[in-house]
Structure 1
Amino acid sequence: MTKILINTIVFQKEIHSGQSQYALLNQLTAKIAGFEVRGELFKPETKHDELVQLQQLAEQRHWEFRYSIPECLFIKSEINPNLESHFKLAQQFGITALKISLGELEHITAQQVSLLNQLITTYQVQLNIENEPNQNGILKHMAMICLELTNYNSLTGYTFDSGNWYWINEAPLTAWHQLAPYTTVLHLKNIQAQETVLLDNGLTPWRQLCESLSPNIPIILEYPMSNSELESELTLVASALEA
């Protein structure tokens, strides 16, 4: 059965008003399989304590705990020197998966894949790259990198973001047809006039994405909404998966 999670950007308004990601998740009554927190939304002085609380919350509610790194995996075609520190953080706080934007990379090498595989194996934490809404994330390039990763037997997964294509004038459904075989996570959102909107208010045929999704691939809702809208959107996605 497909798991449905949320990215804490769903609480954007509340977080901007000063509430923490932990407090908002702790108050949540909606039925979810887990959450993905965003590294940039922590306050440095309280981050450690909040991660402890999030770990405890995930354990209490049997939720998956995922973490979005606000950095790029590759900087001028070199692996981000901070990467291992993120794996250590994940291991320390029971985070099961890390998500990171691809970054600047022309071609990946067998040596780089070996290093990434070593980190994933050592820390037992999943790593997923994501398509960016810029030149680093155009479809042709993402498809090439995903193929190279596959050819080098990479353990790195791929997060397909259904909304980011609009900012680089590419069609998400076209991208999906090429990248679905590599996808390990679906970041689901919809777009209208280059703004995120509720699923049924945008341009993306999101139900087609859900219908063709393998049951072992989780869906993460990643767009701002109210608590009542969140309940409705979760129900909507669950219904689409059952259709």
Structure 2
Amino acid sequence: MFLTEMNDGQSQINLLKNLTQPIDGFEVRGEFFKDDKADELHQLMTLAQEKSYSFYYSIPEILFTNGELNEHLAEHFRIASEYKIDSLKISLGVVNLPTPEQVTVLNNLIKVTGVNLTIENEPNPNGTIEHLVDVCRTLTELGFLGGYTFDAGNWYWINEDPIAAMNALAKYTTVLHLKNIHNQETTLLDTGDTDWQALCAKVTDSTPIILEYQINPADLADELNKLKQYLKVS
């Protein structure tokens, strides 16, 4: 939401502290931390505890490289546990189908740390509807304890329809990254090419919906209110 401000050097913690609109939680992005990452994570943990916010963290890496699990996963989970992060999110990467042994590794990390993990679709050939359905079905059959983050925008970069994707993946979706797209650019919710309300209608009432696109400060309150009002009447 604060891409311009972060590119100008503002920290994620200060942006969240200055947010006046009511929210239920936040997701920070690993690539936007500065040299004082540990201090900022500590402040984010404190803010989440003080405000009773859900605390999500987006890992700027992929889960699988040529079918092998990310070798840094244990460290990511250790950090998440230390700073009381509720859930980690990571892009799928390159894998045919996860193996039982790999799911066991992931489940053990989740169980030992108490931190959730969700896997996100990518805007590249690894993120097609067909492949994501195969991966999610396999993970479910193997008893994966984590979930799936449905990114509403990434489908436009691989010429697939987000509504068709949601129809195929709704039963696996545990987090919705909501955004709208026109000409491969993010837009305000009501000015893009996706029926964003139709996406929201497909997930359960308990599914976190995270706004994940650049919003000008003048539009922020209105965008949050659009989603809140829709959720109240749906």
Give the TM-score normalised by the residue count of structure 2. 0.98
**2:94 corresponds to which residue?**
104
Instruction: State the distance in 1 between where 2:54 and 2:26 align.
Output: 6
Given the alignment, which residue of 54, 65, 71 partners 2:44?
A: 54
The 8 Å contact of residues 36 and 68 in structure 1, kept in 2 or not, is answered as yes
Please point out which of 9, 26, 29 is paired with 1:35.
26
Partner residue of 2:6? 15
Q: Which residues in structure 2 correspond to 1:212-231 (within 5 Å)?
A: 212-231=202-221
State the distance in 1 between where 2:212 and 2:81 align: 24
- Amino acid corresponding to residue 70 of structure 1 in structure 2: P
User: Residue 95 of structure 1 corresponds to which residue in structure 2?
Assistant: 85
- Check whether the contact 1:211–1:240 (CA below 8 A) recurs between aligned residues: no
Which portions of structure 1, spanning 4 or more consecutive aligned residues, are displaced by more than 3 angstroms? Answer: none
- What SS class does the counterpart of residue 58 from structure 1 fall into? helix
Number of the residue aligned with 2:64: 74
User: Which residue is equivalent to 1:127?
Assistant: 117
Asked if the contact 2:89/2:149 (under 8 Å) is kept, the reply is yes
Deviation digits for residues 144-164 of structure 1, max 9, x if unmatched?
A: 000000111111200000100
Residue 210 (structure 1) shift? 1.4
Distance, in Å, in 2 between the alignment partners of 1:33 and 1:227 is 19
CA contact (8 A) 2:173 2:203 kept: no
- In structure 2, the gaps of 5 or more residues are none
1:148-167 to 2 correspondence within 5 Å?
148-167=138-157
2:43 partner amino acid: Q
Residue 65 of structure 1 corresponds to which residue in structure 2? Answer: 55
Q: 1:110-140 CA distances to partner (integer Å, 9 max, x unpaired)?
A: 1111111111001000000000000111111
How far the C-alpha of 1:229 sits from its partner, in A, is: 1.4
Instruction: Give 3-state SS (helix, strand or coil) of 2:126's partner.
Output: helix
Contact 1:74 1:103 in 2 (8 A): yes
TM, length-normalised to structure 1: 0.94
CA distance in 2, matches of 1:73, 1:233: 31
* Aligned sequence identity (%): 51
Determine the C-alpha separation between the residues in 1 that align with 2:118 and 2:135. Answer: 13
Is the CA contact (8 Å cut-off) linking 1:72 and 1:103 kept in structure 2? Answer: yes
* Structure of higher RCO (CA pairs closer than 8 Å, 6+ residues apart): 1
CA distance in 1, matches of 2:198, 2:104: 35
1:84 and 1:116 map into 2 onto residues whose CA distance is: 9
> Aligned residues, how many?
233
Q: Which residue of 2 aligns with 1:6?
A: none
One-letter amino acid matched to 1:78: E
The match for 1:237 is: 227
Unaligned residue ranges in structure 1 (runs of 5+): 1-9
